[in-house]
Amino acid sequence: MRIALGLSYNGAAYEGWQSQPSGRTVQDHLERALGRFAGDGSGPLSTLCAGRTDSGVHGLMQVVHFDTEITRDDFSWVRGTNAHLPPDIAVQWARRVPDAFHARGSATARRYAYVLLESPVRPSVEAGRVGWVFKPLSLPAMQAAARHLVGEHDFTSFRASACQALSPVKHLRRIDIGRKGQPDGSAYWRFEFEANAFLHHMIRNLMGSLIAVGQGQHAPDWMAEVLAARSRDAASPTFSPHGLYFLGPVYSESWHLPARTAAFDWLP
């Protein structure tokens, strides 16, 4: 049978999602935990995910699937697997799904959020969970720049050199930018991105350029020039991974899978 899991994790202590020889990735920990819970002596269970995350990037609803001959109740997969996971990784839900379901291939879109602290003082309790800038940002300027990015484009200018995607052309469906001001004059910013798929480091590279516009280093129309250049050298440096959260994939309602987890509700 095929099982789908939704899980959340704090990525600060891990070398990204994808399994590595070091064994210090989220996938490595999940597969070992599934193998221990299944208890059939065959070792870790192999999983496929909806979207890989880099070192330091967090997940609020990563979705994976795996095949097994072991029968367990849905909630048993949740509690039993979590008993073997470190405290900063937790399975949120489990569902039995048809064999036609594929965590990556069945997704129609993927969603990310970037949380940014604007403050003269660096973060402390939020360290590793938010990005940080100390210069004020202009919401209208960043919104104007973001409008140049929405739609189907060649995003080569925002693509990491190590990217393995077959094509740099992606459909960026939306960018939403919000600001929550604080009594001391600081602010938390939340940037949400939704696309059919993303390139390696694409969001962190977009963030670097949006922040450059927000701080007045470039006019909003500069973003169109960067996009048209199709050169990584045209854009700003890659921004910190600390405030980046994978909100999860988007699936057809016909799969009857949750669209969010409780982890969504504390994020600024």
> Which residues, including other chains, have CB under 8 Å from residue 73's CB and lie 6 or more apart?
none
- Type of residue found at 195: A
Residue corresponding to tokens 């600390």: 242
Q: What is the DSSP-derived secondary structure letter of residue 105?
A: T
* Residue 116 CA, distance from chain mean position: 15
C-alpha Rg value of the chain to the nearest Å? 19
Residue corresponding to tokens 């600024």: 268
Residue numbers annotated as active site:
54
- Cα(138)–Cα(212) distance, integer angstroms: 10
Residue corresponding to tokens 């129309």: 221
Token pair listed for 27:
């996938």
